[in-house]
């Protein structure tokens, strides 16, 4: 998965290609709390397949516009919050998983979880399935 192409922002604010899944995921997480709709659309389009799907426990979206609409919901409920990746990305074949936190302006963690990510043949995000909270112990 290290051969995927994803953007990074230069000092001039333009996007340049890079070759790490880490950058793709981090760009997705940054976009997911980007309040500027134009910048958010640019970030999402730079890493997502146009037909990508994001599935979280409370809702899901198909396509970049629907994913951007999900961001609007998050920004309404968690104004000023940001996502951060909390683990390395464990990857094989076209899949990866990583931990994340949604952090408030005061540094408090509002929600944490794990995402499972899938990339397509072009190295773009095609699906993310999110899980909130830690796994429960086996009975």
Is the pLDDT score of 18 beyond 90?
no
Closest CA to 17 of 30, 32, 7, 31: 7
CA max distance for the chain: 54
Options 3.40.50.720, 1.10.1790.20, 3.10.450.50, 3.40.50.800; CATH of 6-132: 3.10.450.50
pLDDT one-digit tens code per residue, 37-91: 999 999 999 999 999 999 999 999 999 999 999 988 999 999 999 999 999 999 9
Distance from CA of residue 62 to its chain's centroid? 14
pTM score above 0.85:
no
- Which secondary structure element, helix H or strand E, spans residue 132, and what is its range? strand 125-132
Cβ atoms 29, 125 nearer than 8 A: no
Domain ranges across the chain: 6-132
Q: Give first-to-last CA distance, the chain, whole Å.
A: 35
Is the pLDDT score of 13 beyond 70?
no
Closest CA to 39 of 81, 18, 9: 9
Is the pLDDT score of 118 beyond 50?
yes
pLDDT > 90: percent of the chain: 71
Mean pLDDT, the chain, rounded, equals 87
- pLDDT value, residue 10: 42
d(CA 107, CA 90): 26
Residue 113 pLDDT grade (very low, low, confident, very high; cuts 50, 70, 90) = very high
Q: Which residue has the higher pLDDT, 3 or 61?
A: 61
Cβ atoms 20, 98 nearer than 8 A: no
- pLDDT value, residue 61: 95
Is the pLDDT score of 7 beyond 60?
no
């Amino acid at each position: 998965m290290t051969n995927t192409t994803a953007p990074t922002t230069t000092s001039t604010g333009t996007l340049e290609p890079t070759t790490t899944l880490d950058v793709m995921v981090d760009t997705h997480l940054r976009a997911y709390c980007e309040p500027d709709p134009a910048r958010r659309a640019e970030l999402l389009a730079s890493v997502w397949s146009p037909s990508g799907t994001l599935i979280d426990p409370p809702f899901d979206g198909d396509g970049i516009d629907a994913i951007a609409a999900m961001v609007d919901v998050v920004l309404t409920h968690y104004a000023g919050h940001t996502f951060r990746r909390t683990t390395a990305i464990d990857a094989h074949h076209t899949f990866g998983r990583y931990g994340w936190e949604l952090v408030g302006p005061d540094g408090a963690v509002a929600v944490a979880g794990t995402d499972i990510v899938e990339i397509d043949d072009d190295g773009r995000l095609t699906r993310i399935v999110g899980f909130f909270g830690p796994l429960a112990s086996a009975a």
